[in-house]
């Protein structure tokens, strides 16, 4: 009986999925699987690290993570080129930049004072008279081999070879274009981020982002507030989302979209874009927000939420977007707190029981509808986005074992 199987043997990823889309719980709990994910997914996929608006001028930088790897995203003082550098001193490994964002021509390591240009090169070593064999040219901060932007979104990759960013984005690219065009002069992440952390696996956040199924349950009190305000009876959620559908865009990317939405406009964005898109493995654009998921450990995740500010829009419009963001996502908000409680904490509680350690992701499996360009469509509440994600996850994780 495969339903009673516990963790798979170390290094073996096959056997985690059944044909009827039961998925083995060890994908959320096995340290070995987490380690393999870093190797097989985060070192081989294009990873979102930021938006051009976060570093508009030469010398600007931000710190973040590419998978678990601490990085500095910089715009070179001399050449304006965006680079992604590992935030690790080449001397004895301290992180050289602690601030989340700023402007600096150099980064000086706080441990012994080695100093680097913001393009990575080693500029100076204090008290260097006792070094006879220090090859300074080879001791710059490590730059990731490829960094590209698409529609202002900055991605980086550890692999030297392989698809370009636009090839990698595939069917998800048009949605980044749409998001980028939301404001009269584009978008900017100038409001910075707020962060949430939870004791649970990183994939839970990506699943929940495209999970129409939970809305009626987890967000019942939020819906009650809305209907109370409007003086209308609480909506029935399947009707609320009747115009929405989900899609497997291929490559692990997924979509939820309002099929009746007019164009994305500044006014429309106050209430959110008429679509949510997940770019495999760790970026989501949802509502009026860029959501960056940072895996920390198999059972620890940080999520950075960036409200999308509209460039060239009235302050009142951007203020409304921020208030909306706070109302749903803020620490005292009505939405994200409930997602944390139920989708993360309660699933961690439940999954502590490992006797039948499988989850079921089959809603809408038999009603998936093939469309153009290899896109597959489903109902708004289907677990199609989840399957989209894990089809790619599985491909990458199993490839090296075949
Ligand atoms: Fe950075 Fe020593 S660890 S200077
Ligand atoms: Fe939710």
Q: What is the pLDDT of residue 1?
A: 46
Residue 265 has pLDDT above 60, yes or no: no
Q: What is the pLDDT of residue 226?
A: 85
> Considering the chain, what is the average pLDDT of its residues?
92
- Set out the domains of the chain in order of their start, with CATH numbers: 47-157 (2.102.10.10), 172-399 (3.90.380.10)
Cα–Cα distance for residue pair 151/177, rounded to 1 Å: 6
Q: Are 147 and 156 in contact (CB under 8 A)?
A: yes
Q: What is the pLDDT of residue 332?
A: 87
CA 196 to ligand 2 centroid distance, Å: 14
Q: What is the pLDDT of residues 298-355, one digit of tens each?
A: 999 999 999 999 999 999 999 999 999 999 998 888 899 999 999 999 998 898 898 8
Residue nearest to atom 3 of ligand 1 (CA): 92
Question: How much is the ipTM here?
Answer: 0.97
Residue 268 has pLDDT above 90, yes or no: no
pLDDT: which is higher, 19 or 238: 19
CA 154 to ligand 1 centroid distance, Å: 28
Cα–Cα distance for residue pair 46/317, rounded to 1 Å: 33
Would the pTM of this model clear 0.80, i.e. be above it? yes
262 falls in which pLDDT band (50, 70, 90)? low
Cα–Cα distance for residue pair 56/78, rounded to 1 Å: 14
Q: What is the pLDDT of residues 81-127, one digit of tens each?
A: 999 999 999 999 999 999 999 999 999 999 999 999 999 999 999 99
Q: What is the pLDDT of residues 46-71, one digit of tens each?
A: 999 999 999 999 999 999 999 999 99
Pocket test for ligand 1, best of 87, 108, 109, 134 (most atoms within 8 A of CB): 109
Cα–Cα distance for residue pair 183/15, rounded to 1 Å: 46
Q: What is the pLDDT of residues 344-372, one digit of tens each?
A: 999 988 988 988 899 999 999 999 999 99
Q: What is the pLDDT of residues 210-224, one digit of tens each?
A: 999 999 899 998 888
Q: What is the pLDDT of residue 269?
A: 61
Which ligand 1 atom is the nearest neighbour of the CA of 112?
4
Cα–Cα distance for residue pair 180/263, rounded to 1 Å: 13
Cα–Cα distance for residue pair 320/307, rounded to 1 Å: 11
CA 325 to ligand 1 centroid distance, Å: 40
204 falls in which pLDDT band (50, 70, 90)? very high
CA 104 to ligand 1 centroid distance, Å: 18
Which sign, positive or negative, has the C-alpha torsion 228, 230, 232, 238? negative
Q: What is the mean pLDDT of residues 264-273?
A: 60
Residue 7 has pLDDT above 60, yes or no: no
Which ligand 1 atom is the nearest neighbour of the CA of 114?
4
Cα–Cα distance for residue pair 1/238, rounded to 1 Å: 36
């Amino acid at each position: 009986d495969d339903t009673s199987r516990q963790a798979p043997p170390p290094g073996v990823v096959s056997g985690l999925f059944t044909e009827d889309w039961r998925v083995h719980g060890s994908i959320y709990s096995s340290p070995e699987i987490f380690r393999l994910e870093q190797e097989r997914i985060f070192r081989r996929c294009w990873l979102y690290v930021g938006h051009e608006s976060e570093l508009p001028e030469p010398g600007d930088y931000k710190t973040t993570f590419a998978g678990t790897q601490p990085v500095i995203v910089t715009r070179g003082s001399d050449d304006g080129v965006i680079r992604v550098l590992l935030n690790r001193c080449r001397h004895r490994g301290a992180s050289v930049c602690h601030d989340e964002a700023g402007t600096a021509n150099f980064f000086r390591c706080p441990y012994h004072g080695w100093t680097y240009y913001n393009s990575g090169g080693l500029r100076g070593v204090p008290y260097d008279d006792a070094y006879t064999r220090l090859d300074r040219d080879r001791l710059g901060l490590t730059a990731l081999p490829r960094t590209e932007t698409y529609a202002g979104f900055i991605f980086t990759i550890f692999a030297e070879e392989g698809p370009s960013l636009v090839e990698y984005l595939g069917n998800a690219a048009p949605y980044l274009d749409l998001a980028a065009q939301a404001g009269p002069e584009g978008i900017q992440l100038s409001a910075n981020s707020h962060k949430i952390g939870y004791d649970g696996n990183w994939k839970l956040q990506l699943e929940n982002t495209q999970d129409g199924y939970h809305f009626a349950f987890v967000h019942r009190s939020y819906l009650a507030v809305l209907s109370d305000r409007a003086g209308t009876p609480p909506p029935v959620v399947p009707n609320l989302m009747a115009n929405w559908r989900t899609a497997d865009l291929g490559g692990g990317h997924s979509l939820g979209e309002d099929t009746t939405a007019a164009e994305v406009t500044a006014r429309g964005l106050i209430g959110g874009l008429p679509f949510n898109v997940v770019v495999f493995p760790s970026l989501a654009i949802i509502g009026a927000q860029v959501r960056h998921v940072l895996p920390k450990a198999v059972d620890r995740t940080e999520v950075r939420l960036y409200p999308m500010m509209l460039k060239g829009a009235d302050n009142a419009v951007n203020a409304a977007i921020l208030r909306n963001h706070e109302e749903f996502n803020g620490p005292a908000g009505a939405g994200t707190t409930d997602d944390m409680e139920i989708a993360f904490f309660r699933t961690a509680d439940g999954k502590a029981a490992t006797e039948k350690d499988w989850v079921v992701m089959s809603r809408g499996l038999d009603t998936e509808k093939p469309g153009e360009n290899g896109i597959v469509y489903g109902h708004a509440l289907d677990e199609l986005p989840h399957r989209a994600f894990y089809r790619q996850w599985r491909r990458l994780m199993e490839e090296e074992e075949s």
